[in-house]
Amino acid sequence: MQPLGPSRVAPILSPPGDHNTFYLGLRSEIRKANVDGALYFVTITVVGWVDVFTRKELAEEMIKQFAWSQKNKGLKLFAYVIMPSHIHFVAYRDEGLMSDLLPDLKSYSAKCLLKLVEDLPNESRRDWLLHMFEFHAKYQPQNEKYMFWQKTSHPTELWSDHVIDQKIRYIHMNPVVSNIVTDPEHYWMSSAYPEGRLKLNGYE
């Protein structure tokens, strides 16, 4: 596998970490995806590791959010998996920084997902979910009533073919290691699934 996109996202030759930004202040993201055209492994996690994506409607909404970012924000995907409580993906951003895209993706998807939790007639856990989101929000003064995503995304720059392949395999094996399926190809919320809903446009 050669999961590298156009020449502008060729592996960074310097060791990993050289481009990481360490800073103080209110912002909670320690490692920022601030290298133009670089490829990243990103994890976004629901507060409290709550299993929200066991509900098909919520998983499908998250797929729509990724598809919108691909079409409108220059997101280029190489691999992804939507696990019950978190999401892993490998991607770069065409014409822009991943550090600018991630807050927008998390903010807007949180609003849409929270609305679904409130409105879905078959969401039997509604009260408990909203309680969890409200509980986590009250310890974060910049939040509104609810907090859906954890603050950190830990974007890790991928700088060699070996590391890229390693991360993609890790992503695809997540449902297997978690005993959800026996083969990566059987998990429909993953790029390993032959009929996956998201286009892997990073290879174009």
Q: Output the domain CATH number for residue 48.
A: 3.30.70.1290
> Of residues 21 and 120, which shows the higher confidence score?
120
How far apart CA 182 and CA 197 sit, in angstroms, is 20
The answer to the question of residue 162 being in a domain is: yes
Higher per-residue pLDDT: 105 or 20: 105
Residues in Cβ contact with 17 at an 8 Å cutoff, skipping those fewer than 6 apart: none
Query: In the chain, how many domains are there?
Result: 1
Per-residue pLDDT at 30:
41
Residue 136, domain member (yes or no): no
Residue 3: which residues within 8 A CB-CB, separation 6 or more?
78, 79, 90, 161, 164, 165, 168, 202, 203
Is residue 21 predicted with pLDDT exceeding 80? no
Q: Calculate mean pLDDT across residues 84-104.
A: 94
pLDDT number for residue 16? 30
Q: Note whether residue 80 is domain-resident.
A: yes
Percent of the chain with pLDDT over 90: 69
CA R_g for the chain? 17
Q: Which domain holds residue 51?
A: 9-115+148-194
β-sheet bridge partners, residue 88: 43, 81
95 pLDDT above the threshold of 90 = no
pTM here is: 0.82
Specify if 76 maps to a domain.
yes
Asked whether residue 170 is assigned to any structural domain, the reply reads: yes
Query: Do the domain assignments include residue 124?
Result: no
Q: Does the structure show a pLDDT above 50 at 195? A: yes
